[in-house]
A = this chain, B = another copy of it.
């Protein structure tokens, strides 16, 4: 049926050990021998059985990637980039999609990646101490994308600073009353941004000498519909805000919809700024805070692979965000 290493060895006239060494590019193989081995492998269309190799070597040549969802912009982007980077390095990507709370519990209960990955990459999940312990107990390098924890590799943006930028921008435009559409900091699927982005919002207001107003902070649950409903509530306030900061672009879209339904103009009546800079933010002419997703993914993947190779550095990288001004806050930037 399919060729095994022995067939190659026979055809090349060497031992299987030499075949193994030659094919993997190890030293101590004469050039002529190596060529013969490659020729034989080629002729037989041979590739090594990964399972046998992994069993014998103890290396899985696989990285587990854990995400709460794959069908959301941020995570899809991460998976896309990480897969490409891993493939280039000769690693397989084993995907773990938590999905919901039950899936999350099951995952941390069973630890299904045990004995099958060399390293783990966790994307934007707020983890409990027990969950961190569970990951650490794998004994493999663990990398965090979108959050930080001593002892773990990580990359993230400064959510506080990003949110601060957004609110600062609105303040600079002269807005006096700025509403917040936020995420639920107690969500069981808790991903990381909500906490910090809200803090950035509050910090910016405080630094501008504004008093915090709990009524102006409404939950949008990081969904479009949630953002829509939140905007509804904010528009109904006696002292209506003139600007809204949504902790994600998705929620900002919902807010825009609501505002349009109320026949209010953006940004003249109400300005809106989001966070993330998804591809369609430009389409919606939405001002936002851009975070570099691919860069984060590339950075953490490279360092995770280094960690597999024994690099013991456990650094935490923070990449900058960038204010992107469009028509939803500044009419002079409008593309329409």
Contacts and interface: CB of A to CB of B under 8 A. Distances in A.
Interface in A109-132: 112, 114-116
Interface string A52-86: 10110000100000000111110011011001100
A48 B80 CA distance: 30
A87 interface: yes
A260 B336 contact: yes
Interface residues of A, number: 45
Copy tally for this chain in the complex stands at 2
Nearest to A223: B279
Interface string A145-163: 0000000000000000000
A224 B257 CA distance: 20
Contact of A97 (B50, B73, B87): B87
Given A69-B80, A77-B71, A103-B84, A50 B280 contact: no
Interface stretch (A18-26, A88-96, A192-200, A267-275): A88-96
A76 B83 contact: no
Contacts of A97: 79-80, 83-84, 87
B79 A95 contact: yes
A254 B72 CA distance: 20
Which of A51, A69, A76 is the most central at the interface, judged by chain B CB atoms within 10 Å of its CB?
Answer: A51
Given A224-B280, A283-B224, A84 B99 contact: yes
Interface of A: 2, 47-52, 54-55, 60, 69-73, 76-77, 79-80, 83-84, 87, 92-97, 99, 103, 112, 114-116, 224, 253-254, 257, 260-261, 279-280, 283, 335-336
Given A76-B76, A253-B283, 14 more contacts: A47-B115, A50-B116, A51-B116, A70-B76, A79-B79, A80-B97, A80-B99, A83-B95, A87-B96, A92-B116, A93-B94, A93-B95, A257-B283, A261-B336
